Structure 1
């Protein structure tokens, strides 16, 4: 039997094999290929459909009429405006002359640690200034009118504790009867063999005392106070006699401003100033900083060049603390700046402000101190 030749349907088999050869036989590579093709198709669709999507959004927005928007409710909350505190201008503080008499002026804007009425030793004809005339540095703006000697206050000396030893009978008798110091009697006479005495002879017209009166152990003086004990003098440790204190100004050493015109009032150099709690607080604060500054300079081995000027701006709060140093300007080196800043900060806090001072300045105030090395 003769077999028929192969049919013509068998040739497509090689074509299917060529279609399968587009994809890799490796499953991992084939997955990557499929992902790339899918990404390309998605981007093509987006490019084709993007204009149609934009047109659809425009039609959607135009469908809302003005009446629809007006009928909707809106809630608008306005944020409260930031309250900017006004800059508080403190009263004009001046340093009073402690040697001038206390005399309240009629009217002035100056405040100080005590009341004063402007005066000076040599009057200025027709002078009406609140400050006396003074000679100083024209570039210096100082609140002081006198420069003196400042002494750091010392704590009061404590008395020695009383002795626990019992008092002897002799000490008790000496205390109660106030016996004078014992001594020797002086004898004089003309006879070399005799014994003389410096006891005078009674006058011819002298009369005897009719009755001897004994003293009282607990006698009082004519003023009514109890007579004190006698104090022994140690010849090896003599004490200086009390002398009058020299006429010095007990004010801090400070450069003076140059003022050509002053007042026609004659008297001790003084400002026109009224006492206030702010003025008294500032005076004590300045003196404390001055003492600390001089102490730091004395303990330092480096002294800045004469003429060095340091300006320190800082914030003081109502508790007397120094929370911030705003700026430091110096014409000298770092040692000059550090000494001035330390003098301000070292003794903080300086005590809480009085109530009337808080009412004027608020809870904090910016203060400027100028230090000058001479």
Structure 2
């Protein structure tokens, strides 16, 4: 009797547990249905109205876009831009040059940097090797001839001075007429002459005696310098305007030197170029480096040092008036004469041309520059 009672109680216990499990499952399903139904059945306007009522006390916030602050001159770095790429203003502003360019690479890769992939030697700012050439010599200016001093005080109302005599240019003599080259004809007939082989020249038997002789008339190619008067400040003639000539200017050219050692790649595809913003000081600095390298080569050609595989690091201060001072050798493994050549090449460039007002506003009254000279 004990075993049937035990089996009966165990059956009842398991049956009650199954009912509770079913009831819990039904409750969960009903709850999910209510939430889903409420989400889709409640109007959206009601939900937005409730959110607005909760945020009624929120404060208004104004957003204003301002220009980024300019970098101090100490963080600005000169780089040598590629003159063969089109000009384009970059986002990066810590590098300047004589023209605006954006970084580009011929074969962009996944390892992106702000510089193209250049298999160079050092941490240089050069990406393309250049050849230093002197700027073409400007033609001589045309100087107007001076006049004699005028009479009377002042520059107006006086009697004009005598104009200078025109200076004619030398011209070739006009060719003699053909009838002057003919044989003389007399009543007794032409005289005896040597036999001449070849075609005979055309001879006018009876030339016109009234025909004009073209022996004094100048050809059209002859030119005479026009008269030009200049003022002498004493009532003379008005100022003459000489022909202007091109202003001598050293073109920004690529200098020679070690290239950049960059293993990354730029994001854009194109010719090799760096991020650089145009700056008047960038153009000024590029012209100074071109003139400095030319002077350095002249010193090397004169002194003929025997140094190879050496370098000289020099620092100096350039002022707004173009003067150079405080030339110091920071590092050198070259000979004494080779080191002196570097400092002399810098000192002889002083004074360079003065700075512009924009350059002074950005860099102040002076700027410290550092240059490394490499003997190969």
Query: Could you tell me which of 55, 80, 89 is aligned with 1:95?
Result: 80
The answer to whether residue 310 in structure 2 is matched with residue 308 in structure 1 is: yes
Q: SS at the partner of 1:359?
A: helix
How far, CA to CA, are the matches of 1:331 and 1:121 in structure 2? 37
Q: CA deviation at 1:124?
A: 2.3
Residues 1:257 and 2:254 are matched in the alignment? no
Question: Cα–Cα, structure 1 residues 159 and 141, in superposed 2: closer, same or farther, change >3 Å?
Answer: same
Q: How does 1:30-109 map to 2 (within 5 A)?
A: 89=74, 91-109=76-94
1:343 to 314, 329, 345: 345
Partners in 2 of 1:361 and 1:250 — Cα distance? 23
Partner of 1:323: helix, strand, or coil?
Answer: strand
1:155 paired to 2:137: yes
1:192-216 CA-to-partner distances (Å, cap 9, x unmatched) read xxxxxxxxxxxxxxxxxxxxxxxxx
Using structure 2 for the length normalisation, give the TM-score: 0.51
2:256 and 2:92 map into 1 onto residues whose CA distance is 28
Is 1:133 aligned with 2:151?
Answer: no
- Counterpart contact for 1:125–1:263, Cα < 8 Å: no
**Displacement of 1:329:** 2.1
Judge conservation of contact 1:328–1:337 (CA < 8 Å) in 2.
no
Secondary structure at the residue paired with 2:257?
A: coil
Q: TM-score, normalised by structure 1?
A: 0.51
Q: Deviations over 1:223-270 (max 9, x none)?
A: xxxxxx9xxxxxxxxxxxxxxxxxxx9521110121100213221111
1:160 CA drift (Å): 11
**Would you say the 8 A contact 1:313–1:325 is kept in 2?**
yes
The CA deviation at 1:90 is: 5.2
1:89 Cα shift? 1.1
Aligned residue for 1:283? 286
CA distance in 1, matches of 2:141, 2:317: 42
State which drifts further: 95-104 or 112-121. Answer: 95-104
Partner of 1:357: 359
Distance 1:261 1:170 in 2: 75
Distance 1:372-1:122 versus aligned 2 partners, 3 A rule: same
Give, in angstroms, the shift of residue 170 of structure 1.
Answer: 5.5
Cα distance between partner residues in 2 of 1:145 and 1:98: 11
Separation of aligned partners in 2, 1:159 and 1:322: 31
Query: What residue is the counterpart of 1:239 in the other structure?
Result: none
**Distance in structure 2 (CA, Å) of the matches to 1:145 and 1:170:** 63
d(CA) in 2 for partners of 1:309, 1:256: 15
Per-residue displacement from partner, 1:150-192 (whole Å, max 9, x unpaired)? 1121313559999722464569xxxxxxxxxxxxxxxxxxxxx
CA distance in 1, matches of 2:173, 2:91: 66
Unaligned runs of 5+ in 2: 1-71, 144-166, 177-220, 222-251
Conserved 8 A contact 2:103-2:273: yes
Residues of 1 paired with 2:253 and 2:357: CA distance?
A: 29
Aligned to 2:8: none
Contact 2:105 2:271 in 1 (8 A): yes
Q: Residues of 2 paired with 1:367 and 1:159: CA distance? A: 36
CA RMSD of the aligned region, Å? 2.9
Cα shift at 1:326: 3.4
